[in-house]
C-alpha cells in the first residue's frame, strides 16, 4: 500500500511467540539458579565450625549425671569478734573425671569465679586461687584445671561496731564451667551465718581444709 510502510517482522505472529517462549525459559532458569544458591548458602552456614569449637558446651540439663560439682561455703572461724579477721572459702568438690578451670583457663574453658558479700562495714580481700594443674588435650589444647576438690578463699575483716550475741549472714555467688565429655556451666548462691562473740573462735572442723589450700 502506498504511503504506509510496515516492518514484516512486526506482523509475524510466529516471531512474537518465539520471543515469549525464550523470555519464559530465561525466567524459569533464573528461579532455579536462585533456589540452588539459597540451598547452598544454608548448607555452608550449617557446616561451618563455631568459634568455640575447643569447648563443647551444652544447655543446663537436669539429672544426677550432670551434677558434676558440689559447692559449700565455709569459714575458718565458728564465731567472729568486732574488728577481727577470718577467712571465707567456697569448697568445690568435683565428681570423678570432671574438672573446673583456674583463673586463667588457657586455650579453652571459663575461669571459676566467687564473689563474697556481707553486711555494710565488712571488708573482703582478694580471692586467692591455688595453682591449677596443666592439662593438655587432643590437638595441643592446653588448659589449667582443678580436679577432685579446690578451696577458693578470701580474707575478711569485721567492723569494730558489732554486737556480741547477734548473727551475721554472708553470701557467696559462685560460677564455674564443669567439663567431662561435654562442658556444663554451673552457678550457685551460698549462705553462711556466723555468731558474733567477744573473742573470735576458730572452726576446728575446717582447720585441715584451710591449711591444705593456703
Residues 180 and 109 reside in one and the same domain:
yes
Residue 91 near residue 100, CB atoms below 8 Å? no
Ordered alpha helix ranges (H), the chain: 13-47, 207-213
Low-confidence ranges of the chain (pLDDT < 50): 1-11, 15, 40, 42-61, 64-65
| Per-residue pLDDT tens over the stretch 32-68 | 665 555 554 544 344 333 333 333 334 444 554 458 9
What would the grid cell of residue 203 be?
572452726
Residues 137, 140, 144, 145, Cα dihedral to 10°: -10
Does any domain span residue 102? yes
Do 173 and 209 belong to one domain? yes
Verify that 124 and 185 share a domain, yes or no.
Answer: yes
Q: Looking at residue 38, what is its pLDDT?
A: 55
pLDDT of residue 139: 86
**pLDDT tens digits for 166-183?**
999 999 999 999 998 889
Whether 41 and 98 share a structural domain: no
| The total number of structural domains that make up the chain | 2
- 20 shares its domain with 83: no
Is 0.75 surpassed by the pTM of this model? no
Whether 71 and 129 share a structural domain? yes
What domain range is 172 assigned to? 64-213
Does residue 124 fall inside a structural domain?
Answer: yes
Residues 130 and 165 in one domain: yes
Write the CB contacts of 147 (distance below 8 Å, at least 6 apart in sequence).
94, 98, 99, 133
First to last CA, the chain: 114
Q: Does residue 1 sit within a domain? A: no
Whether residue 195 is found in the same domain as residue 115: yes
Residue 64, classed as helix, strand or coil, is helix
CATH at residue 148:
2.60.40.1250
Residues 86 and 186 in one domain: yes
Is 185 part of a structural domain of the chain? yes
pLDDT at 60: 46
Residue 154 CA from chain centroid, whole number = 23
167 and 89 part of one domain: yes
Q: Are residues 144 and 107 in the same domain?
A: yes
Does residue 3 sit within a domain?
Answer: no
Per-residue pLDDT, 20: 61
Other Cβ atoms less than 10 A from the Cβ of 188: the count is 17
Burial (CB < 10 A; 0-12, 13-18, 19+), residue 205, is exposed
Does 52 fall in a domain?
no
Domain assignment present for 31 = yes
Q: Are residues 102 and 197 in the same domain?
A: yes
Does 68 reside within a domain?
Answer: yes
Amino acid at each position: 500500500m502506498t504511503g504506509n510502510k510496515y516492518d514484516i517482522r512486526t506482523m509475524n505472529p510466529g516471531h512474537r511467540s518465539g520471543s515469549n517462549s525464550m523470555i519464559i525459559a530465561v525466567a524459569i532458569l533464573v528461579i532455579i539458579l536462585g533456589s540452588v544458591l539459597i540451598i547452598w548458602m544454608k548448607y555452608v552456614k550449617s557446616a561451618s565450625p563455631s568459634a568455640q569449637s575447643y569447648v563443647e558446651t551444652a544447655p543446663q540439663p537436669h539429672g544426677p549425671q550432670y551434677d558434676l560439682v558440689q559447692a559449700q561455703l565455709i569459714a575458718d572461724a565458728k564465731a567472729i569478734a568486732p574488728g577481727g579477721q577470718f577467712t571465707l572459702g567456697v569448697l568445690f568438690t568435683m565428681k570423678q573425671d570432671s574438672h573446673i578451670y583456674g583463673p586463667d583457663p588457657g586455650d579453652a574453658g571459663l575461669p571459676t569465679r566467687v564473689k563474697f558479700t556481707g553486711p555494710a562495714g565488712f571488708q573482703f580481700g582478694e580471692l586467692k586461687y591455688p595453682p591449677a594443674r596443666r592439662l593438655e588435650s587432643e590437638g595441643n589444647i592446653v588448659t589449667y584445671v582443678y580436679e577432685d576438690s579446690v578451696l577458693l578463699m578470701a580474707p575478711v575483716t569485721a567492723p569494730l561496731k558489732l554486737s556480741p550475741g547477734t548473727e551475721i549472714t554472708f553470701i557467696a555467688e559462685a560460677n564455674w564451667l564443669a567439663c567431662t565429655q561435654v562442658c556444663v556451666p554451673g552457678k550457685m548462691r551460698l549462705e553462711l551465718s556466723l555468731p558474733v562473740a567477744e573473742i573470735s573462735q576458730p572452726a576446728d572442723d575446717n582447720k585441715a581444709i584451710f591449711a591444705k589450700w593456703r
